[in-house]
Amino acid sequence: MEDIFSMEVESREYLFDFVTSPLKKYLQEFLEETKILPRTAKSVIKTYGSCRYEGEKGKDIDIAIITESRIDRIDFFKYIQKKNEEIKNNDIKKMFDIMVIPDAYVPILTFKIIKDANNSANSKTISVDLVLIRTTIDPNKFNERINILNDGFIIKTLCDEESKRSISGLRSWVWMDQYMEKNKYYMNYDIFMKALKVIKEWARRRQIYGAKYGYPGGIAWCFMLFDVYKKCNDNHINNENPIDLLFQFFETYCCHHQLANWKKKNDVPIIISINSDHNIDQGKKRNSVITSYLQIWTPTIPDINSTYSVSKYALKNIIHEFEKLKDVVKSKDKKLLLINILKRDYNIFDEFTHFIKIGFKNDVIPEIKEIGLLQSRLHKLTKKIEKSCHDIESIRLLNGSFHDHYFIGIKNKQKINLTNVINEFKLKDIQTISNKVFIVNRKITSN
């Protein structure tokens, strides 16, 4: 069982330098080509998230650039995308699969880069999520010792709301670092990160992971585990190894937590706030527009909902996956729990018999992927179907494609007609991207 918790530890300094060196180069070139004076800009680049503690192959690295206000975020992101496309030679540091997502709640640039490309045996692809934080701080005071947790830094120097939202993830990780350090008798980094690794792998395998699919992303799962670990600390419950903490996590969300009682809550969004010392405006959260039925709030100001993309149908699927482990958790057999957590991957075709089958013409796929809208549009369609068809018992979008097609599984009480919602979706959401719309199989019948 220890193999489950094994870490592929890698030099953090080497990985950091490898990924950030092209970003520094692009920032300098951006200033020179756009003729923004002076031709140099002060900036601080920081990593955050689980990549700081583990070298998981193929997983994300979160990077934040804190820089001067004269750097336009989207212009810089698009500059990186454009310059990379111009690279003709086989540059081992060339980025690929670059996506600029300017309209996201947290504007982001995502890309991949290959480490050790000349050594196929040891090469690996690193996925990077990059945010840019613009500040009016005096350039002469820029250094690595910027106090990220100083609320005055946020209130007085950040230029826009996007910067405040972009720094929230970084601040939350710094806050958790300090909290664990102060409470290291009960809270151990190694135990926490090993347990988190298994939880994230379980969520990926069960296809309930990733904001672009409408599910909690890595930082949200981290907050859910941290909430459990913090309460163990508050109650002086010692978790001596990752298995103990994993059991506490699944016992909380399978048996005792409000997730398990969601259907009894009259559809009120679930709220988790992990910082009890923080003056949290619960009224603001409860009265906010319900676009997410799972609200996991960051522990620092500005507190944002890290699960803003989770819909009602997505939360049902999360609960369903927890419920599958309920009997195992009740048995208190921790080894059996581990076996069941990573037993096998989720298969939508085992659970549903009726599907909407979506296919794109080959020349449309690269265009949609390039602007990063494909999966989010399908997630939007799934929410529209759930909202418009009250006879649907369950609905689930397959994460990714299967034989070049995309599937939405549906369990329905009686025959339903999806013609109107699909035609409206095609008109408003796909034809704005391309006039070559997808083909949909609408033969959804009752059992």
**What are the pLDDT digits (tens) for 383-437?**
888 888 777 888 998 877 777 778 888 888 777 778 788 777 765 554 433 333 3
Three-state SS for 98-156 is EEEECCCCCCEEEEEEEECCCCCCCCEEEEEEEEEEEECCCHHHCCCCCCCCCHHHHHH
Spatial distance between the Cα atoms of 133 and 167, rounded to a whole number of angstroms? 7
Cβ contact 124:114 at 8 Å = yes
60 by DSSP, 3-state: which? Answer: strand
- Cα three-residue angle 27-33-37, rounded to 5 degrees: 80
pLDDT of residue 418: 80
Specify the pLDDT at position 331. Answer: 93
Distances (CA, A) of 37 to 34, 70, 391: 9, 9, 61
Strand 270-273 and strand 60-68: the pairing is: unpaired
Q: What is the mean pLDDT of residues 190-205?
A: 91
**Rounded to whole angstroms, how far apart are CA atoms 153 and 408?**
45
pLDDT of residue 247: 92
pTM: 0.79
The more confidently predicted of residues 73 and 403 is 73
Residues 6+ apart with CB under 8 A from 126: 15, 19, 61, 112, 113, 114, 115
What's residue 6's pLDDT? Answer: 55
Helix (H, G, I), strand (E, B) or coil at 230: helix
Cα distances from 276 to residues 24, 56, 198, 228, 400, in angstroms, run 38, 31, 26, 13, 38
Structure tokens at 159: 């230029």
* Amino acid occupying residue 94: K
Position 249 scores a pLDDT of: 93
pLDDT in tens, 241-262: 899 999 999 998 887 654 544 4
* For residues 359-373, average pLDDT: 52
CATH number of 348-440: 3.30.70
What is the pLDDT at residue 203? Answer: 94
Fold exhibited by the domain 179-341: Poly(a)-polymerase, middle domain (1.10.1410)
**From 3.30.460.10, 3.90.226.10, 3.30.230.10, 1.10.357.20, which CATH number describes the 2-166 domain?**
3.30.460.10
Q: Which residue has the tokens 């151990």?
A: 188
The tens digit of pLDDT for each residue in 4-63 reads 555 454 555 667 778 888 888 888 888 888 776 666 677 888 888 766 555 444 457 889
Measured distance CA(147)–CA(161) in Å, rounded: 19
In the chain, CATH 1.10.1410.10 covers: 179-341
Token representation of residue 431: 């034809």
Instruction: Classify residue 346 as left (phi > 0), alpha (psi -120 to 50) or beta.
Output: beta
Distance CA 38, CA 141 (A): 16
The CA-CA-CA angle for residues 395, 266, 234, to 5°, reads: 100
Under DSSP, is residue 215 helix (H, G, I), strand (E, B) or coil?
coil
* Average pLDDT over all residues of the chain: 75
Residues 271 and 297: beta-carbon distance below 8 Å: yes
Question: What's the pLDDT at 311?
Answer: 81
Q: Outline which parts of the chain fall under CATH 3.30.460.10.
A: 2-166
Distance CA 175, CA 277 (A): 12
When pLDDT is averaged across residues 161-181 and rounded to a whole number, the result is 86
